[in-house]
Amino acid sequence: MGIENQLFEWKNWDELETMALQFYDVVLKVQIGEFPVGTKFGCAVFDCNANLLKLFDEKKRLCYEFPLTVSVGPLSNTVDTQESMVLKKE
């Protein structure tokens, strides 16, 4: 699951360039800025190169830009790398 899946749902998407994706018919899953859950946008650009999330309101002809930041949640798993990286002989 990508980070964008945590932020919104969409119907279609295109790759604009490496690390920049454009999503269409977007519905927010979480509040972003002043926009509550369920707000719809014509498209969203998830641009990791510029560290921006851009939400486009086509009716108002506006683009809202939000900085992308990263946070790390609590530890979810620990793996013994000696065990997991050993290839078993067949």
Determine the Cα–Cα distance for residues 57 and 90; give it in Å rounded to an integer. Answer: 57
pLDDT for position 1: 57
pTM equals 0.77
88 versus 54: the higher-pLDDT residue is 54
Residue 8 exposed, middle or buried by CB count within 10 Å (0-12, 13-18, 19+) = buried
pLDDT band of 8, cuts 50, 70, 90: very high
pLDDT band of 84, cuts 50, 70, 90: low
The residue-averaged pLDDT of 66-86 equals 79
pLDDT band of 32, cuts 50, 70, 90: very high
